[in-house]
Chains A and B, each alone.
Chain A
């Protein structure tokens, strides 16, 4: 690992002045990619294995079934508690004596900054590119169902977190797996926690890191022209290093403040494009609904649209994955249910609002090539995805779609992608670190080792090509969901008890609004 790291740095330094050295760097990209694809392929295949006799990956069914069960078990909590969630975020129920602690709003936005990002921009483009506009329908449905999964895991995350003497807290699925299982007298909690922690480290290095670096690099080259991913990787790694190892909080603080505005700008730009093309919105929704059930001739037809929609929704909002449970554990609320209720807004904002905006803009923009005679989409030569104008995919497709509305938007999007990628990396470095310290114990040296590995993988991610990285990222994040959802099934009666007690007290007036 260290040897490769050294070579990478040297190659980067050399690639700047001479063309010959630059070509060396390109071949090194390829080598990094080959090693990467070779070493992770088996795991990816296992996670995305199809159900026997079908082309439906078992993992997608796993997530949707879980989200549906939670939705029914908690009596459509996502609908019933939606208004209360907004009320909590506004601070209506916050005790003034607790002012100065982490607020519900802060917990929500911190968790969101880990999920809102490339999944909403690149992931949706991948889904719509392969599954057609119909994928959007399944994405929205998965987002709505996922709200119940998020509610379950975040309630447990707060209930079973560890509070230390110095006042700091550590929480997440590892803690509810061990403590919750013990409380219910079920064996195996500690084992699940260890497996979950290993996958979380993988997810942090994959989706929370390499995928981000990879797509940020792709977006930069879109504007500057092609150059070695190692350069982007090294720069990103250096900045992340400064924040997570050097403790330069100002960079993180600036990002945390700029990212929400980029998010708002992104949604506004999408809205303007949709308003300008208001006459096509009806048609776009028609495409989404028709495509959802017929596939409109895209790769894999109706099932292809469904799989893509569900996959991208899960990757984007992380419901059931367990990451948000780590982020929400920091809130010192007396009622774990309040954090669960607040967290159910995340899949809504992330998937139902932002992802849908992206999908609508791509659909309306006409960057997906259609056969005017049949009204079906034309597939590319390989038959794997819909042909696009200029053959773009991923974040480049979103960029091209927005450029039909605003020619300058790719520049804003490039900046947004870089900032989103950065803030997602910061969030996931924290999730990964929590899993790491759960496995190896707290301690400065141990933490430093993880942080260095994290920075190294940024370089790998920027250098490897999209296919290998996106597959590995998905696989690791879904692997987290396998373990997490297993635990949620065992612990959901506890959540139900908490939920019933909380809402009963809310109804009886025992829990009251605080005036402002």
Chain B
């Protein structure tokens, strides 16, 4: 177990990749530091579903997890490991801001690093994007990479 952990939020975008690069850089400076790479599949337990969607839900979830691992998380974990870092990879369903903070708490992280995603759509304007909500609610310092 390393002295400290940096949690990085990935979303498969350019900004996410920049966040990971920043975290690696930080980890190098710290020395003994684990990087927890986290990919969140946006999901809420409070939506309304048809019976058929419910029946298929478990199968869809497995597919979503598999895709997230294949396309985003596993390559990122592999690269980071190859660069000589201590890495933890996490894929979870839920609200990105909540989960990143929960992961940070669980790993006793010193900071969370996320890429900035521009505010898109009316929902994000009203309720704030993931980065905004994370910055407002996180229990550890949050670094937002432009």
Does B55 lie within 8 Å of A100, measured CB to CB? Answer: no
- Interface size class on chain B is 20 to 34
How many interface residues does A have (CB within 8 Å)? 38
Residues 89-102 of A, flagged 1 when their CB comes within 8 A of B and 0 if not, give 00100101001111
Q: Once bound together, how far apart are the Cα atoms of A426 and B52, in whole Å?
A: 9
The residues of A that contact B52 with a CB separation of less than 8 Å are: 252, 430
Instruction: Contacts A99-B92, A99-B94 given; indicate if A109 touches B57 (C-beta within 8 A).
Output: no
Contact B93 A427 (CB under 8 A): no
Q: If A96-B102, A99-B93, A100-B61 touch, does A168 touch B48 (CB 8 Å cutoff)?
A: no
How distant is the Cα of A104 from the Cα of B41 in the complex, in angstroms?
19
With both beta carbons as reference points, the residue of chain A lying nearest to B64 in the complex is identified as A100
The listed residue (B43, B48, B57) touching A113 by CB distance below 8 A is B48
CA distance A100 to B91 in the complex (A): 11
A334 to chain B, nearest CB (A): 13
In the complex, are the beta carbons of A426 and B45 less than 8 A apart? no
In Å, the complex CA distance between A107 and B59 comes to 16
Determine the chain B residues whose CB is within 8 A of the CB of A326 once the complex forms: 51
Q: How far is A409 from B59 in the complex, measured between Cα atoms in Å? A: 42
Name the B residues within 8 Å of A91 (CB-CB): 45
**Chain B 94-110 residues near chain A, CB threshold 8 A:** 94, 98, 102
- Quick check: is A106 within 8 A (CB to CB) of the other chain? yes
CA distance A113 to B55 in the complex (A): 16
Cβ–Cβ contact A169 & B58, under 8 A: yes
Besides A106-B47, A106-B49, 20 new A-B residue pairs in contact (Cβ under 8 A), listed by A number? A99-B92, A100-B93, A102-B49, A103-B45, A104-B45, A105-B46, A106-B48, A110-B50, A168-B56, A168-B58, A169-B58, A249-B53, A252-B52, A256-B48, A257-B48, A326-B51, A330-B55, A426-B51, A427-B50, A430-B52
Enumerate 26 A-B pairs (CB-CB under 8 Å) in ascending A order: A94-B45, A96-B102, A99-B43, A100-B93, A101-B58, A102-B54, A102-B58, A110-B49, A110-B51, A167-B58, A167-B59, A168-B59, A249-B50, A249-B53, A252-B50, A252-B52, A253-B50, A256-B48, A257-B47, A257-B48, A326-B51, A327-B51, A330-B51, A330-B57, A426-B50, A430-B50
